[in-house]
Structure 1
Amino acid sequence: MFNSNVLWILAAFVVYMGVMIAIGAKYMKSTKNSEDYFLGGRGLSGWVAALSAQASDMSGWLLMGLPGAVYAFGTGQAWIAIGLFIGTVCNWIFISGRLRRYTIRANNSLTLPEYFQNRFHDKKNVLLCISSIVIVVFFLVYTASAFAAGGKLFHAVTGVDYTVALTIGAVVILLYTFMGGFMAVCVTDFIQGMLMLVALLAVPLMAYAVVSGNGGLRELLDASGVAGGSDSYMSLWQNGGEPYRAIDIISQLAWGLGYCGMPHILTRFMAVKSQKELNKSKGIAIVWVALSLTFACIIGVVGRAYLYPEVLGSAGADSAENVFINMITHLFTKQYALPFVAGIFLCGILAAIMSTADSQLLVTASSVSEDIYKGVVNKEASDKKVLMVSRITVVVVAIIAYIIALNPNNSIMGLVSNAWAGFGAAFGPLVVLSLFWKRTNKPGAIAGIVSGGVAVIIWDYIPLMKNADGAMVTLGTGTGIYSLLVGFFLSLICIVIVSLCTKAPNEEMQKEFADVADKNIEL
């Protein structure tokens, strides 16, 4: 059924996934309560926190979506990477430490919705419910994107039917997340982050060496038919052979705004065991993301030349999002007879996929069990019962995301884009203002979450305008403006206006804010 190369690659996959499941089983024994399951007892080291945050952030988008976009349209697509780098740096420098202190001061909050509830003294659980619903809705889309990436990877490598490949990947992710909770997710993410970085650095450098000996990069780019020629393709100011509009660049840079609203990243800040370890995490994370984003873009460019005369995305060819997969298989099964090494590097792509899906499943489970079930439905629920509800939620969410991912035509880039915008617009402005503006209050917080989330849904999903052909399209498609840009600033404005027009926070809330600002928190 499979040739020897595929069997060696599958062997690498089996070893890798076996290790991930073993880690889940190990941490299952030490998971005693909900704080262990959701935050690992706030015991993350600097290295684990940094690589776990960044690995869970980047997903299959880093190794499939971004290289695929650069492969198809040129280095102009790197504006997204530039925006994400700026967002990462700002998130670690300005948000991480302050959020960690505030979640401790706000009654040891374990989740982002619980932080909002405690930060604004919401006795009626309105913020808890609204933010939990936002998490469940957008993480279903986000998790589906990770499952879809896993299915495409298995299908491209083995030729196994997409549905079968999707099922295998989903089951493995579900197993170790179900068993080990937060620590299992973070330790596996640490391993996956290292593996992703090695794959990102090694493969394009080896492929470039081959390209240099086969006529040169620019000559092969021109031969492959890049729009506008190699000069246009290699320019930051061109996109698919056309000059970039200012709004296009601004929209791509706007991806960076999403960072401060991502629950699966913010929980890493909350879980670091000390300020000293957090300071260590900042440098590690910033270096990792700079290298990863740079080389993800290089993969798209070098891959276009290296894979020629094959042109991905053309009739009968693989999707452009498979550029990294095809580079690895060509290098280590055709260029060099090292199929097991190919399997290890392909596990780097699998790592990117799994590291995000596991985090999203866990955050969704925490929102349902800790925030909705214990916070609203059964306030007297024991830790054992909350843990059980968490694990049931992980299974249910995985099944729904699996169903969404069953369509192989779903774009990884598109799914990630929509979910990223939803979280960034709904939570980002509120996280920033809750940490840095003491006048922010509960009505303003509610207005910010609702306006940001609804704006993204309307902008991305509801056809409200006609294009040049007279067909109805969404505002995002018709204007070219990324929904996160619109939703973020609408949410920000709503928080400020509603907060100023309603009652100021009480003295206790202002004292809590001052304690955090003055660093009067035991860390």
Structure 2
Amino acid sequence: MAHPVIIGTFIVYFIVVMGIGIWSGRSQNDIKDFFLAGRQMGPVLVAFSSCATIASGFFFVGLPGLSYNLGYQPMLSIPVLNAILAYVIVYGLLAKPMRYLSERHGALTIPDLFLTLYEDKRVRWACSLVILIGIVAYMVSQWVAMGLMFKTLLGSTYTVGLIVGVVVVGFYSTLGGQKGNIYNDAFQMIVMCLGGILVIVYGFKAVGGFTQMNQSLAQVRPEMLLPFSDNFGLSKWAFISFFLLYAVGTVGQPQFTTRFYTIKKIDMLRWAPAIAASTYVIITLFVFTGMIYRAAEVQGIVQPLTNPDLAVTEFLVAFMPSGGAGLVLAAAVAAIMSTVSTFIVVAASTVTRDIIEQGFDKKLSDKQGLLYSRIATVLLCVITVLVAIKPPDLVAWLGNAAFGFFAAGLGPALVAGIRWRRANKQGALISILTGGGLSLILYFLKVTGKIAPKLDTGAIAFLVSIGVLVIVSLATPYQHRKALPDKKTTVPEIVA
């Protein structure tokens, strides 16, 4: 049984997030409130929310596990540099025009925006399909991460951890919608930052400091101190892959881009990327847990891990006092909850708005739309938890696969729809289907041992998706798209 202080910390944490959900639910009157939080969010809330959404179970479980095996390589190739670039790229390319188009044309979801940009229902259907498939895969990785944490630190079974997580997250997502998610994300980001600082303080103390940690890692392999290596761990091809996926490919992540719809004023978006990037640097400290634990092994302080995904939880057991462990665990769970709750709302909006209401032309009243959205959140939680009982892969690579799937399936068509007038519905449709489909096929071939490409399968699919969109758009007739004002003026120029 876990220490009473840890259990108490979680009880308080769960009360807060569920209370925010109940409070937010009082202002939910229709699906616009549920999906867009009334377009009343400020830049700090949007920045914290976008940062918390990206910092998922992959970040707090998968990455420390990779760092346990590979040292600095996952940290230097994924979180810091690529995350900062991602905020610059995504906010610079998409934030203002997406917010502008959403309000002007009444777009509530990403598939809504695709219909606005390309004026073709097939593109909307394809976008909806990619979102639903990717969300299921991504959410499974989040439930797996949560189950592993509760199993170690709360003395529960893996299945109990899943049930606890789905009940709490499902509750506040169902009641609070997007507003509840964003306010909870802001609270959870504060918890994550505090947790990251505590990890460094107690971890370095346990292994004799930063320098001593590096010396211990070098005893395992000197390459553990390098950003990449052709002879060990992540090669330069992996480094390139992560740049394509986590810096550039973030343009295709619906859990990130839907945040732009919710901000109160377009001009507020100028502050959000700097706030988000700064906060992300702080929570990156969590990735040190894997390296610190590995250094402690070398020093004979702890036993080797049987599963790298347990690096964070075993770190807490070995090095943290009960109060600190409870807070750090709450921070890791916060990352999972912030990501999965956003996916729940995105999936519910896709089912209700894009499939039921728009796809099948079923007119829903405000109360019906809200009810259908809440039913969809419950069903999605149940389905993904059932899949997560026996997950197909390590958390790190399952989350990575879903990230690549979104990047290839949605990213090129979304950016081209806003930034390139020559892009048309044929190019967008083929790009979405090719990018998403190829990502799934290549990933399946990789995990079954049929292929071993140097580039990540998602990165390959992302590049192919870009090429297909350009070639097909140029080879097919020009499409006059009403969403873009004229050939000399772009949407970003209008809202600047």
Q: In 1, distance between residues paired with 2:133 and 2:482? A: 33
Specify whether residues 44 and 243 from structure 1 end up closer, same or farther in structure 2 by C-alpha distance, changes over 3 A only.
closer
Q: In 2, distance between residues paired with 1:142 and 1:297? A: 20
The residue type paired with residue 498 of structure 1 is V
Specify whether residues 197 and 518 from structure 1 end up closer, same or farther in structure 2 by C-alpha distance, changes over 3 A only.
closer
CA contact (8 A) 2:229 2:236 kept: no
Q: In 1, distance between residues paired with 2:318 and 2:488? A: 58
Specify whether residues 93 and 201 from structure 1 end up closer, same or farther in structure 2 by C-alpha distance, changes over 3 A only.
farther
1:319 matched to 2:314? The reply is: no
The residue type paired with residue 303 of structure 1 is Y
Give the counterpart of 2:57 among 37, 60, 77: 60
Aligned-partner SS, 1:242? coil
Alpha-carbon offset, residue 221 of structure 1: 3.2
Alpha-carbon offset, residue 332 of structure 1: 3.0
1:447 matched to 2:430? The reply is: yes
Alpha-carbon offset, residue 401 of structure 1: 0.6
Alpha-carbon offset, residue 378 of structure 1: 3.5
Alpha-carbon offset, residue 445 of structure 1: 1.0
Deviations 1:282-308 (A, max 9, x none): 210111123333x23433322322465
Alpha-carbon offset, residue 321 of structure 1: 2.1
CA contact (8 A) 2:204 2:210 kept: no
Q: How do 1:198-209 residues align onto structure 2 when only pairs under 5 Å count? A: 198-209=194-205
CA contact (8 A) 2:199 2:286 kept: no
Aligned-partner SS, 2:449? strand
The residue type paired with residue 20 of structure 1 is V
**Residue 140 of structure 1 corresponds to which residue in structure 2?**
136
Give the counterpart of 1:270 among 261, 265, 272: 261
1:481 matched to 2:479? The reply is: no
Aligned-partner SS, 1:109? coil
Aligned-partner SS, 1:473? coil
**Residue 291 of structure 2 corresponds to which residue in structure 1?**
301
Alpha-carbon offset, residue 213 of structure 1: 6.7
1:73 matched to 2:70? The reply is: yes
Q: In 1, distance between residues paired with 2:63 and 2:111? A: 30
CA contact (8 A) 1:204 1:303 kept: no
Q: For structure 2, list consecutive stretches of 5 or more residues without a partner in the other structure.
A: none
Specify whether residues 507 and 200 from structure 1 end up closer, same or farther in structure 2 by C-alpha distance, changes over 3 A only.
closer
Q: In 2, distance between residues paired with 1:205 and 1:332? A: 10
CA contact (8 A) 1:258 1:484 kept: no
Deviations 1:328-347 (A, max 9, x none): 333333xxxxx233212210
CA contact (8 A) 1:430 1:448 kept: yes
The residue type paired with residue 167 of structure 1 is I
Aligned-partner SS, 2:485? helix
1:261 matched to 2:237? The reply is: no
**Residue 469 of structure 1 corresponds to which residue in structure 2?**
none
CA contact (8 A) 1:28 1:180 kept: yes
The residue type paired with residue 482 of structure 1 is D
Alpha-carbon offset, residue 435 of structure 1: 1.6
Mean Cα displacement is larger for which, 432-441 or 346-355? 432-441
Q: In 2, distance between residues paired with 1:19 and 1:207? A: 28
Alpha-carbon offset, residue 193 of structure 1: 1.1
Mean Cα displacement is larger for which, 46-55 or 296-305? 296-305
Q: In 2, distance between residues paired with 1:243 and 1:167? A: 35
CA contact (8 A) 2:421 2:484 kept: yes
Alpha-carbon offset, residue 310 of structure 1: 5.8
Q: In 1, distance between residues paired with 2:210 and 2:134? A: 45
Q: In 2, distance between residues paired with 1:262 and 1:243? A: 27
**Residue 95 of structure 1 corresponds to which residue in structure 2?**
94
**Residue 42 of structure 1 corresponds to which residue in structure 2?**
39
Q: In 2, distance between residues paired with 1:212 and 1:220? A: 10
Alpha-carbon offset, residue 99 of structure 1: 2.1
Alpha-carbon offset, residue 448 of structure 1: 0.9
Give the counterpart of 2:157 among 145, 149, 161: 161
1:426 matched to 2:400? The reply is: no
Specify whether residues 409 and 306 from structure 1 end up closer, same or farther in structure 2 by C-alpha distance, changes over 3 A only.
farther
The residue type paired with residue 113 of structure 2 is Y
Give the counterpart of 2:281 among 290, 311, 315: 290
Q: In 2, distance between residues paired with 1:215 and 1:110? A: 50
Q: In 1, distance between residues paired with 2:138 and 2:481? A: 39
Alpha-carbon offset, residue 127 of structure 1: 1.6
Mean Cα displacement is larger for which, 507-516 or 152-161? 507-516
The residue type paired with residue 288 of structure 1 is T
Give the counterpart of 2:115 among 114, 117, 139: 117
Specify whether residues 95 and 157 from structure 1 end up closer, same or farther in structure 2 by C-alpha distance, changes over 3 A only.
same
Give the counterpart of 2:237 among 233, 247, 252: 247
The residue type paired with residue 90 of structure 2 is N
**Residue 131 of structure 1 corresponds to which residue in structure 2?**
127
- Root-mean-square deviation (CA), in Å? 2.3
Alpha-carbon offset, residue 324 of structure 1: 2.3
Mean Cα displacement is larger for which, 324-333 or 342-351? 324-333
Q: In 2, distance between residues paired with 1:207 and 1:119? A: 50
Give the counterpart of 2:272 among 265, 281, 285: 281
CA contact (8 A) 2:140 2:391 kept: no
CA contact (8 A) 1:173 1:354 kept: yes
Q: In 1, distance between residues paired with 2:361 and 2:491? A: 34
Identity of aligned residues (%): 26
Deviations 1:442-499 (A, max 9, x none): 11110110010011011001479xxxxxxx6243xx1232112211111111111211
Matched pairs, number: 492
Alpha-carbon offset, residue 160 of structure 1: 1.1
Mean Cα displacement is larger for which, 419-428 or 480-489? 480-489
Alpha-carbon offset, residue 158 of structure 1: 2.0
TM-score under structure 1 normalisation? 0.88
The residue type paired with residue 11 of structure 2 is V
Alpha-carbon offset, residue 509 of structure 1: 4.3
TM-score under structure 2 normalisation? 0.93
Mean Cα displacement is larger for which, 433-442 or 282-291? 282-291
CA contact (8 A) 1:140 1:401 kept: yes
